[in-house]
A and B are shown apart, each in its own frame.
Chain A
Amino acid sequence: MHRLAILPLIALAACASAPAAGTRPAADQADGSRLGVTAGREPTRITGAHTMTADQQASHVLSRLTFGARPGDLDVIREQGVDRWIEEQLHPERIDDAAADHWLAEFETVQKSAAELERTYPNPGVLVNQRASRPEGLTAQDSAQLRDARRNLRRIADEAQIARVGRALLSERQLQEVMTDFWLNHFSVFAGKGIREQYYLAEYDYQVIRPRALSRFRDLLGAVAKSPAMLFYLDNWQSAADSTRPRLTEPAAARARGAAARRATANPASPAGQQLQRRLRAGLNENYGRELLELHTLGVEGGYTQQDVISAARALTGWTIDGPRQGGGFLFAPFMHDAGEKRVLGRTLRAGRGIEDGEELLDLLSRHPSTARFIATKLARRFVSDTPPAALVDRAATAFLRTDGEIRAVVRLIITSPEFFDHAAYRAKVKSPFEVVLSALRATGATPDRSPRTAQAIATLGQPIFGRSTPDGWPESAAGWMGTGAILNRINFGLALAAGRLPGANPMAVPGVEMLRQAPREQQVDAVVDAFLGGDVSSVTRSVLITGHHPLLDTATAAPAGAPRGLAQVVGLALGSPEFQRR
């Protein structure tokens, strides 16, 4: 079916290239391959046999391994060489990131641990319960406190998003940012899960995921498994041995734990007492056990059974969250742990053990061939193509197993592979909403937004930050989310930015803009294409940017649109162009 569409397209492309001939080598060389890329893209097979040009390689690397080129980035990478630049980015710890750190230091809620946050800013839900249960009910003072608590909670939730956008915009460690985005989506959590989740988001981003984005998979998996964000999101914090199973210790042991626990047992009606009662009554909750196997490690076709899910959940009973006043964070609660024997994926976890059950399960999962293949496939899909070549996935999965899950090694293999630099991979990916917004901001050298407006713009494009309700994360393949509504919203985003309605983004920040104001339209268009589209557009797009018309069709079909007025309109068109939607 698609083959049919290609024939006339080539004819059209050849015509379309004619009017632009002789203007600009970078943009209008009407070689069939370029047009095959920018005009009519159908997944050409990626084999690794057809390498991109050097300029394309530089621009490709920036579009895949960063959130978009800033003014001057292309020159840096051309001078440094693609290979050296990649190796540098693979070691974020060696890259100075003072500017981003400095900016982030102003966001107090991002710097604090989750437990600190919970102590400093009381949970409005808990506050209501405490106050409403008193005989006198809510006083005026309570109401004021409650208002403050809600406002603080709002700020905590907003700042977690503001910080993500700002860091992705400013950081010099761009590959680490991209990998953080990848893992935050792989180990997706949802801000709307409940009030407590909001306290955990910034910690999850900064303490759990980002430092391990290129480390060993087992470290990352373990840190996620012990993170309040994931424990709360997938309910494991309250999963306990079923009543028919032996518990590791008797509940009495919990009573020995400090004054707060003693108070809780002494007063079963208090919130702490109720929580303790709930935990003691609680039974097995399979939610995390299932998603751990299906989404975090083996993949749904990874060869596990319902029995494995139950056993995994049993192994992880007692992995819970400590109260913020007891220090917060991860807590292994022996009195919740199922101490019976379990069999998972053919391995026997013998009876009578505690936290070792969960640790051994994570060891087993992180070294499983299905996990290697699942992670390798997702990484190749992220970096190379929505339909990654099987040979590349094979090599990446092998590297995963050989290095005991060293993420840096697997990523290096993928982003230095011939497949990564194959011509067919050039602009083969559709930008996610986060990438659309960030690449536009970076192209204009924007200053980061201190308000939640930019994060809201990303949400409008369909993928709110920490806003995926299901634990599978946003689909990596564009077919899963690119629709009429999505493309309309992208175009409207470009128009809003070009009209100066996005905080921090100056659409006129095209290098040399002062000179360009009086320049001929062709020069303005070249500068805009350099800034936003890596200097490379189809001749149709170039023609529309200059004249406002399609080079062939307008006179025959619709009323002519009229040429863009001023640089801002050219920018609006560039951001709305098909090329800008790709990376």
Chain B
Amino acid sequence: MRRRVFVRDSALALVTLGLSPSFLRRTVLTAQLPRAASGKVLICLFQRGAADALNVVVPFGERAYYALRPGIAIAPPTRAAGPAGAIDLDGFFGLHPALAPLKPLWDGGIFAPIHAVGSPSATRSHFDAQDYMESGTPDHRGTADGWLNRYLATSGTCEQCAPTPFRAVAMSAQTPRALQGSAPTVAMNSVTEFAVRGGGTQAAQLEALYRTGAADLIHGTGREMFEAVKMLRAANPQQYQPAAGAAYPNSPFGQRLRSIAQLIKAGVGLEVAFADVGGWDTHVNQGGATGQLAQRLGDFGTSIAALVTDLGDRMQDVVILTMSEFGRMARQNGSGGTDHGHAGAMFVIGAGVRAHRVHGTWPGLASEQLYEGRDLALTTDFRAVFAEVASKHLGARQLRAVFPGFQTTAFPGVML
């Protein structure tokens, strides 16, 4: 199909020569695709290492929870527990106390947590599970592209949007699996580092080296990079000042979110952003209200809260979606930690969420309710949440292409 577009339209000769950057080529190619909703942004945040969902969104109303985790459980939100207790959400679930910065988002009606959600795959391998979640195809190894890239490839940019290399950006040194695929994407460590350091003349000479050559990995990536550098320089994001009250932690994750806000505010056409944060593989001494996991969650929650504050009114157009490859065992292990488990928890944050409730069907933690007798059971497929967000927020219409093989009758209702 695409081939005919190439051959028929002689005006595209330059495109076939491989002279134009691939994001321009994409724009031409996707002219007939359904258009994305105007100006919407999706920010995906991956907690790598399998976050311990039972200590993130705490089922303090479940007695079995305390029996399974005598050393690491989060106390219920009582006066006696004080700041070490969970932050009550609905009388049954509470947030880990280190996630206090997210409580105002819950109160403000833009925060929707989902519990017992994840991949139907039985794997407990980080690498497989991350692969499945990012490819959007559980138990199918070898899917070539990521689900976000398939969304980009099957959806045109919005009607009034100018072509941009920054439609999809990963704030990381490498392109994450979720963004790999035929649609062009950009990966960077930070906005300020994204420049050729040799000065204008040498940058132009270097650019000439990559001007021709087929769409192979090196040449194609090189061309995209030079276009992107030029465009970013024109937007001059170096002059950036976060909005008042937006205090990003000085952690790598906090700084990545700050860079994403810079890009959104620079108006370079960002539609899909991706960042990840590690340190969740808490096999040993994960702690309770304080300790290792609490520290990770503190950084996580503070960074997200800063991003929301920084974006201010722009949050009307932004949804933040968090994910982790699986949850952890319901029972603590012999080292004061938790081993690999099954279902986990996700957050959807944005103006269009169905608020003031913890989503998902709670399967319970009694031993006969546990998955394989050990893990939180799964009641919501992660693809149902991804699909709902892609559809309702970004306006994605080709969900079958984005999630091949996935059949669902109804969305989980996380968004309005």
Residues of A in contact with B (beta carbons under 8 Å apart)? 1-2, 4-9, 12, 16, 39-42, 235, 238-240, 242, 278, 281-287, 290, 294-295, 300-301, 306, 430, 461-462, 469-470, 472, 478-489, 491-492, 495-496, 499, 538, 540-541, 544, 548-550, 552-554, 557-562, 564, 569, 572-573, 576-578, 581-582
Check A486–B335 contact: CB distance below 8 A.
Answer: no
Most buried by A among B124, B165, B173: B173
CB of B53 to closest CB in A, whole Å? 19
Report the stretch among B30-38, B156-164, B216-224, B350-358 that lies at the interface.
B216-224
Residue-wise interface mask of B (297-334) relative to A, using a CB-CB cutoff of 8 A (1 in contact, 0 not):
00000000000000000000000000000000000011
Which residues of the other chain, A, contact B333 by a CB distance below 8 angstroms? 283-285
* Binding stretch for chain A, among B13-21, B79-87, B91-99, B405-413: B13-21
For B6, the closest partner residue in chain A by CB is A4
> With contacts A235-B335, A300-B128 known, is A576 near B209, CB below 8 A?
yes
Given A235-B284, A286-B339, are A496 and B221 neighbors across the interface (CB < 8 Å)?
Answer: no
Interface pair A42/B209, CB less than 8 Å apart: no
Residues of B within 8 A of A561 (CB): 201-202, 204-205, 207-208
Q: Are B334 and A282 in contact (CB under 8 A)?
A: yes
CB neighbours (8 Å) of B210 from chain A are 578
Q: Would you call B213 and A578 a contact (CB within 8 A)?
A: yes
Residues of chain A with a CB closer than 8 A to B13's CB? 8
B225: chain A residues within 8 A (beta carbon): 484-485, 487-488
Query: Across the interface, which residues of B come within 8 angstroms of A481, CB to CB?
Result: 173-175
**B175 contacts across to A, CB distance below 8 A:** 481-485
The reply to whether A491 and B141 form a contact with Cβ atoms under 8 Å apart is no
| Least CB distance, B297 to chain A, in whole angstroms | 18
- Closest CB of chain A to B372's CB: distance in Å? 8
Tell me which of B122, B128, B206, B278 has the highest count of chain A C-beta atoms within 10 A of its own C-beta: B206
Residues from chain A with a CB closer than 8 A to the CB of B219 are 39-40, 578
19 contacts between A and B (CB under 8 A): A5-B214, A8-B16, A42-B214, A285-B283, A300-B125, A462-B174, A469-B48, A470-B126, A481-B174, A482-B218, A484-B224, A485-B194, A486-B173, A487-B225, A495-B202, A548-B201, A562-B204, A562-B205, A573-B206
When distances are taken between beta carbons in the complex, the residues of chain B under 8 Å from A557 are: 19, 211
B180-220 interface (Cβ within 8 A of A): 180, 185-189, 194-198, 201-202, 204-219
Q: Are A485 and B217 in contact (CB under 8 A)?
A: no
Interface contact B335-A540, CB-CB below 8 Å: no
Q: How far is the CA of A581 from the CA of B125 in the complex (A)?
A: 32
Q: How many residues of B contact A (CB 8 A)?
A: 68
A221 nearest CB across to chain B (Å) = 19
Partner of A5, one of B49, B172, B215, B229: B215
Q: Is B8 an interface residue (CB 8 A)?
A: no
- The verdict on B400 contacting chain A, using a C-beta distance below 8 Å, is no
Cβ-defined contact, B339 with A41, below 8 A: no
Contact A550:B218 (CB < 8 A) given known A483-B174, A484-B225, A569-B202: no
Docked Cα-Cα span, A479 to B220, in Å, equals: 12
Residues of A within 8 A of B211 (CB): 540, 550, 553, 557
How many angstroms between the C-alpha atoms of A462 and B172 in the bound complex?
9
What chain B residues lie within 8 Å of A235 (beta carbons)?
283-284, 335
- State whether B283 touches A486 (Cβ < 8 A): no
Apart from the given pairs A285-B283, A482-B221, 8 other A-B contacts in the complex at a CB distance below 8 Å: A9-B213, A40-B213, A300-B125, A482-B217, A483-B187, A488-B195, A488-B225, A492-B197
Please give the distance in Å from A87's CB to the nearest CB on chain B.
33
Contact residues in A for B212 (Cβ distance below 8 Å): 9, 12, 16, 39, 540, 550, 552-553
Bound together, the chains give a CA A485 to CA B122 distance in angstroms of 34
* CB nearest neighbor in A for B198: A495
Q: Are A541 and B209 closer than 8 Å at their CB atoms? A: yes
B217 touching A478, Cβ below 8 Å:
yes
Interface centre among A1, A16, A544, A552 (most CB of B within 10 A): A544
**When the two chains form their complex, are residues B334 and A285 in contact, meaning their CB atoms are under 8 A apart?**
yes
B240 within 8 A of A: no
Q: A2-B214, A489-B173 given as contacts; is B209 within 8 A of A573 (CB)?
A: yes
Q: How far is the CB of A480 from chain B (nearest CB, A)?
A: 7
Residues A1 and B194 in contact in the complex (CB < 8 Å), given A6-B214, A9-B213, A483-B187: no
Closest residue of A by beta carbon distance from B339:
A286
B18 touches A487 (CB 8 A): no
Task: Determine whether the beta carbon of A286 is less than 8 Å from that of B284.
Answer: no
Residues from chain A with a CB closer than 8 A to the CB of B125 are 290, 294, 300
B216-A548 in contact (CB<8A): no
Partner of A470, one of B127, B186, B340: B127
Q: A564, B205: Cβ atoms under 8 Å?
A: yes
* Contact residues, B368-400 vs A (CB, 8 A): 372
Q: A8-B18, A492-B197, A561-B208 are in contact. Are A485 and B188 (CB under 8 A)?
A: yes
Q: Which chain A residues border B208 with CB–CB below 8 Å?
A: 544, 548-550, 553-554, 561
Contact A300 B127 (CB under 8 A): yes
Interface of B is mostly: loop
How many angstroms from the CA of A489 to the CA of B334 in the assembled complex? 43
A488, B217: Cβ atoms closer than 8 Å = no
CB-nearest residue of chain B relative to A470?
B126
User: B213 touching A572 by the CB < 8 A rule?
Assistant: no
Give complex CA distance A100, B334 in Å.
45
Give Cα A572 to B207, complex, Å: 12
| Chain B residue at minimal CB-CB distance from A309 | B124
Which 7 residue pairs across A and B have the least CB separation, nearest first? A283-B334, A40-B214, A561-B204, A462-B173, A483-B175, A282-B334, A485-B187
Query: Do B205 and A483 touch (CB < 8 A)?
Result: no
Contacts of B283 in A (CB 8 A): 235, 285, 287
Q: Which residues from chain A contact B152 at a C-beta distance below 8 Å?
A: none
Residues of B near A240 (CB, < 8 A) are: 334
CB-CB < 8 A to A538: which residues of B?
213
Do B204 and A486 have beta carbons less than 8 Å apart?
no
| Contact residues in B for A238 (Cβ distance below 8 Å) | 284, 334-335
Residues from chain A with a CB closer than 8 A to the CB of B207 are 558, 561
Q: How far is the CB of A242 from chain B (nearest CB, A)?
A: 7
Please, which residues of chain B bring their CB within 8 A of the CB of A540? 209, 211-213
Q: Least Cβ distance of A546 to chain B in Å?
A: 11
Report the minimal beta-carbon distance from A280 to chain B, rounded to whole angstroms.
Answer: 10
If A4-B6, A283-B333, A300-B128 touch, whether A559 touches B204 (CB-CB below 8 Å) is: yes
Q: A282-B334, A469-B278 are in contact. Are A548 and B205 (CB under 8 A)?
A: yes
Q: Looking across the interface, which residue of chain B has its beta carbon closest to that of A478?
A: B217
Contact B187 A572 (CB under 8 A): no
Could you tell me the distance between the alpha carbons of A569 and B199 in the complex, rounded to whole angstroms?
11
Which one of B141, B219, B278, B334 has the highest number of Cβ atoms from chain A below 10 Å of its Cβ?
B334
Quick one: which of B3, B124, B202, B222 contacts A487, CB cutoff 8 A?
B222
A564 to B203: give the CA distance in the assembly, Å.
11
Measured CA separation A573–B202 after assembly (Å): 8
The distance in angstroms between the C-alpha atoms of A489 and B186, with both chains bound, is: 13
Q: Contacts of A40 on B, CB cut-off 8 Å?
A: 18, 213-214, 216, 219
Do A577 and B17 touch across chains, with their CB atoms under 8 A apart? no
Query: Smallest Cβ distance from A232 to chain B, in angstroms?
Result: 10
A15 and B377 CA atoms in complex are apart in Å by 63
Q: Which of A295, A430, A562, A576 contacts B217 (CB 8 A)?
A: A430
B228 at the A interface (CB under 8 A): yes
Chain A residue at smallest Cβ distance from B228? A484
Q: Is the CB of A430 within 8 A of B218?
A: yes
Closest Cβ of chain A to B291, distance in Å, is: 14
Residues on the A chain within 8 Å of B202, using CB = 495, 561, 564, 569, 572-573
Q: Which of B185, B214, B278, B335 sits near A9, CB closer than 8 Å?
A: B214
**Chain B residues whose C-beta falls within 8 Å of the C-beta of A549 in the assembled complex:** 205, 208
Residues of B within 8 A of A301 (CB): 141
In the complex the two chains form, is B180's CB within 8 Å of A479's CB? Answer: yes
Q: Is the CB of B206 within 8 A of A582?
A: no
* B165 neighbours in A (Cβ, 8 Å): 484
